Structure 1
Amino acid sequence: MSNFSKREDSPPVSDEKGGFKAPVVVDTPVSDVAGLGYGSEDGQANDAALLLRTDIWIMPMMFILNFGAARMDTLGVAMMGFPNTDYWVSLLVFFIGYIIFQLPAALLVRRYHPRFFLFAIVFLWGIDGGIAVAFVKNWQQLAVVRAILGGLESGFLSVCTLLITCWYTRFELGLRMTIFYQGVTINQAAAPILAYLVGLMEGIAGLKGWQWIFIIFGIIIIIIACISLVFVQNFPERATFLSEDDRKRVLDRLEEDRNDHIVCDAHVWEKILYHFRCWMIWALGLAYGCANVSVTALPTVGVAHLGSLGYTPAGTSALAIAPWVVGAIVAITASWHSDRTRMRSPYILLGAVMCVVGFGCMLSKNVGASVFGTFLAIAGSATQLPLIMVMLQNNVRGTCKRAVAGAITLGFGAIGYMASASLFTSSSAPLYRQGCIASIAMQAGLFVIVVAVALRFRALNAQLDAEVPGSPDSSERKGVHTVSWRYTL
């Protein structure tokens, strides 16, 4: 470990020719930034206890919020019986706001408490995306409600991602981000049961089954929002459950790991425009979009294939939980091992291979093969999606760049979601051949992108290893010429 921690105290600034100079880097002896014993047994024990306390306070609420958010999303509008054209309009207006407001939300949260920010988003979700949707009379009203919901939801994932990355070091992040994402996975497991309950609630109090589902989950989301107001934590420097020394230690651990000081200043928009030119963000964002094409359709496709086993609708709904539970176990195991090996790309590529084989099996008319393919595709997608986000977050430094990276990545994810809706259509059931073939192609593209990015990172690391500290950077390595920091493959 280096005896110095590099701190970025100033943003990239324009030179006379309109380019950018590297940030000013200040050497700070590690022994001066914390008095808790870096590297000592007592220090490691203190860190382990601090990490456990952080997990207890941060992760359960993040998981619950994501579970609720995913439920509002997967309720969808297909069950409402509108024609396909109207369905597409409501889908489109949702993603317009979702994509546009990603970056502003991630930037605004640095100025305001994440606790209040997330409370407002989730509380308004429950009203707009739940209760209000239950009483829309036509597709025009639905489009208005969905447009508002898209704007609200845009801030959720980007803010949660930024919040989690500001609490954990790079190689603690894989497991935590995967657990956060499993809120969606477990949510998807409940989707078939939800569809079954819709039929049972038909006609109660004169309302249709789908209306009751929106009302019930709207109320649940509002309750979750109120709970989050108590338990969601702010960024480490404002955490209420830590002492002053513990807050300092959390920040010091992040400083030692990433060498990037969290800073928001007058140069923020200049930095944003600069970071929009980063090839790595666009490449891994595209990979994330490719992964998202298949994952959003898997609940519907999985039920269709499991239904071929001949069980009753209730039995099929119960059985459909199994692939998602298995997928969550595989994803959490892979992410834990990914943190231990400090590698991301091999596990993402393994997920891609699992998806390709899985979707290939799902094209088969053999019942056993298609069911096996369902398990494999779900496990692969549950593994790769969070690790793509983690690989990107591991290789960017500074709050502004993380905000840009998250916004672009989630924007690509939204595009993948829209593509999925057009590929996995009800007319192609039960094999969904068109969607399965497209998913295989997307996974192949993802594979190529991740391999190319990993090879580029390896080459950059080799250059950093050979570089004399303090020598000029290349344009791709500005701000990363530290002794200990390297790209995560």
Structure 2
Amino acid sequence: MVSAKSSSLAGSLSAAEDELDIVEIPDRTSSLGDVNDEVHHPPALTADEEKKLWRKVDVRIVPILTAMYLCSFLDRGNIGNAKLQGLTTQLDLTGNKYNIALMMYYIKRTDCMGYYDVNDSTLMGIVKTYPQLLGVRICLGIAEAGLYPGVVYYMTLWYPRHKLQFRVGLFNGGATAAGAFSGILAYGISFMSGAGGLLGWSWIFIIEGLLTIVVSILAIFVIVDFPDTASFLTPKERAYLVWRKKYDNSSVGEDEHFEMRHIKSALCDWQVWLQMLMFMTIVAPLVGISLFLPSIINGFGYGTAISQLLTVPPYIVATIVLIAVSMWSDHVKLRSPFLFGGLTICLVGFAINISDAAIGVKYFGTFLCVTGSYTSMPGVVSWLGNNLAGQYKRGVGMAVQIGVGNLASLIVTNIYLSKDAPRYVMGHALELMFIGIGLINLCILVALYKWENAKRDKNQRDMEEKGIEYSAEELRRLGDRAPEFRYTL
């Protein structure tokens, strides 16, 4: 689906490192945490060899993860397309029943990456009653809960901090592509209405669910657990990749052995909770626009089939911008300016749609809503991943950020109500509230990160003057609280 394009982009961006002295590292097939802590230098890789390494990793893991997320997003978001194809009429979704069905997906656990039950989406195509729809939506939410946080954390095990957002951007591109793909599929499937005694909405769930089954089976054979168990890499490439990640955030390497203190450290870290709030303010407009874009466009006065097709261009534009911004962000090693830009674009988009502007202007506003929210998502998860050192603390912190942050989804599933159509003033107003909170929170985060970096600069100078030194083990245990660690802005 995405392999050729992603490998080409990834290959062109792989940065070459200076040649390093060769140190022999044994070929290991144990877990990542067992890698020899005394190894401080990687095998030498030429510029071409390093490019080849990142290209091999990109081609192996990014396309399949992107395809999985594309299918996941189709499964959760295609209910918006199904709504226009008779779902609400046949199942008698009067009042706020449709919004409750949306909300049921987000009442779930978010813990770790896993293969989800691919039959849930397909089963939505054969439900006959409202309670059945709720039951299947709950099962779908539980089954898919661990996919996004699991994959983002999984990527932090493979990529250095300033190669991460581009790959997360490609992965998130699966969601934006899903928006376009879903609109095209829904348009084509609409002509199947009546086939087999089923309306168009049933066929949307069935066909897109079957696609998920195929991708999920393929993933079992493609995905690799850890870099040091990657049989598609040479021993030299595995050793280099493990070293590069291990010493990415620290000159002495990350603390890789689990202890309960990692959980406490993550839960007591101020940045985890502020970044969780940051995630909430981005996921709210993203989920809102992805679930209700067909209805919003339909409210402009277009017919069902045309409304389905008109959902496609905003997602195409968003996919292009998302990838370009992710590449740029990794290149300049900054996250916050791009988050500010994404939220500002969102702000303008929702402001246009809450106004009494002409239909053409409002449709242009939907481009801004989709582009701003989807472009910001890779940045916010990469930002926290960059600023947490130690794979276990990082795993806990990102689980909190994404798991608790997703509570915003429960809210936005209930803000676009049928009685507010076609302008949806309340829905757009609440999205603007989330975006405003996000812009304020972003400024606070940047100020705190700058203050903390400046404080560490001063402390490190004082330590050097006084001859104070930490042992390698002490620095590993300190992780992102070590004097040498600097937060990415």
For the aligned pair, the TM-score class normalised by the smaller chain equals 0.7 to 0.9
Match of 2:63 in 1: 60
Distance in structure 1 (CA, Å) of the matches to 2:247 and 2:291? 45
Match of 1:430 in 2: 422
Quote how far apart the aligned CAs of 1:60 are: 0.7
**1:270-327 residue CA offsets vs partner (Å, 9 max, x unmatched):** 4223321222111111111111111122246544565577765434433331111111
Distance in structure 2 (CA, Å) of the matches to 1:94 and 1:320? 22
Q: Give aligned pairs, total.
A: 438
Contact 1:305 1:367 in 2 (8 A): no
**1:224-253 residue CA offsets vs partner (Å, 9 max, x unmatched):** 111112222221111121112111110111
Query: Any unmatched runs of 5+ in structure 2?
Result: 1-16, 21-35, 472-476
- Where do residues 206-285 of structure 1 align in structure 2 (5 Å cutoff)? 206-259=197-250, 260-261=253-254, 263-265=256-258, 267=259, 269-285=260-276
Contact 1:358 1:374 in 2 (8 A): yes
**1:319-375 residue CA offsets vs partner (Å, 9 max, x unmatched):** 331111111111211111111111100100011111111111112332232122222
The change in CA–CA distance for 1:471 and 1:34 in structure 2 (over 3 A counts) is closer
> Which residue type is aligned with residue 106 of structure 2?
F
RMSD: 3.1
Query: Any unmatched runs of 5+ in structure 1?
Result: 4-25, 107-116
Distance in structure 2 (CA, Å) of the matches to 1:408 and 1:34? 33
The change in CA–CA distance for 1:484 and 1:46 in structure 2 (over 3 A counts) is farther
**Pair 1:488 & 2:479 matched:** no
**1:32-65 residue CA offsets vs partner (Å, 9 max, x unmatched):** x32316xxxx2x3322221111111111111101
Match of 1:35 in 2: 43
Distance in structure 2 (CA, Å) of the matches to 1:393 and 1:181? 15
**Pair 1:156 & 2:159 matched:** no
Match of 1:17 in 2: none
Q: Compute the TM-score of the two structures, normalised by the length of structure 2.
A: 0.81
**Pair 1:376 & 2:376 matched:** no
Q: 2:354 aligns with which of 363, 368, 372?
A: 363
**1:363-392 residue CA offsets vs partner (Å, 9 max, x unmatched):** 233223212222222211121121111111
**Pair 1:456 & 2:448 matched:** yes
> Which residue type is aligned with residue 391 of structure 2?
T
Q: 2:327 aligns with which of 336, 339, 343?
A: 336
Distance in structure 1 (CA, Å) of the matches to 2:230 and 2:484? 28
Q: Compute the TM-score of the two structures, normalised by the length of structure 1.
A: 0.81
Point out the more displaced range, 136-145 or 356-365.
Answer: 136-145
> Which residue type is aligned with residue 74 of structure 1?
G
The change in CA–CA distance for 1:83 and 1:414 in structure 2 (over 3 A counts) is farther
> Which residue type is aligned with residue 255 of structure 1?
K
Contact 1:191 1:299 in 2 (8 A): no
Quote how far apart the aligned CAs of 1:409 are: 2.1
Match of 1:414 in 2: 406
Distance in structure 2 (CA, Å) of the matches to 1:479 and 1:300? 39
Query: Secondary structure, in 3 states, of the residue corresponding to 1:258?
Result: coil
Query: Secondary structure, in 3 states, of the residue corresponding to 1:257?
Result: coil
The change in CA–CA distance for 1:75 and 1:425 in structure 2 (over 3 A counts) is same
- Percent identity over the alignment is 26
The change in CA–CA distance for 1:435 and 1:85 in structure 2 (over 3 A counts) is closer
The change in CA–CA distance for 1:134 and 1:307 in structure 2 (over 3 A counts) is closer
Contact 1:175 1:339 in 2 (8 A): yes
Distance in structure 2 (CA, Å) of the matches to 1:314 and 1:91? 22
Match of 2:395 in 1: 403
Distance in structure 2 (CA, Å) of the matches to 1:334 and 1:276? 30
- Where do residues 32-111 of structure 1 align in structure 2 (5 Å cutoff)? 33-36=41-44, 42=46, 44-76=47-79, 79=87, 81=91, 82-84=93-95, 86-87=97-98, 90-96=101-107, 98=108, 100=109, 102-103=110-111, 105=112
Q: 1:291 aligns with which of 274, 282, 305?
A: 282
Match of 1:172 in 2: 163
**1:205-240 residue CA offsets vs partner (Å, 9 max, x unmatched):** 112322222221222111111111222222111112
Q: 1:325 aligns with which of 302, 316, 328?
A: 316
Query: Secondary structure, in 3 states, of the residue corresponding to 1:272?
Result: helix
Distance in structure 2 (CA, Å) of the matches to 1:361 and 1:95? 28
Distance in structure 2 (CA, Å) of the matches to 1:289 and 1:276? 17
**1:14-39 residue CA offsets vs partner (Å, 9 max, x unmatched):** xxxxxxxxxxxx99674xx32316xx
Quote how far apart the aligned CAs of 1:172 are: 0.5
Query: Secondary structure, in 3 states, of the residue corresponding to 1:66?
Result: helix
Query: Secondary structure, in 3 states, of the residue corresponding to 1:147?
Result: helix
Distance in structure 1 (CA, Å) of the matches to 2:281 and 2:144? 21
Quote how far apart the aligned CAs of 1:92 are: 4.6
Contact 1:178 1:386 in 2 (8 A): yes
Contact 1:301 1:432 in 2 (8 A): no
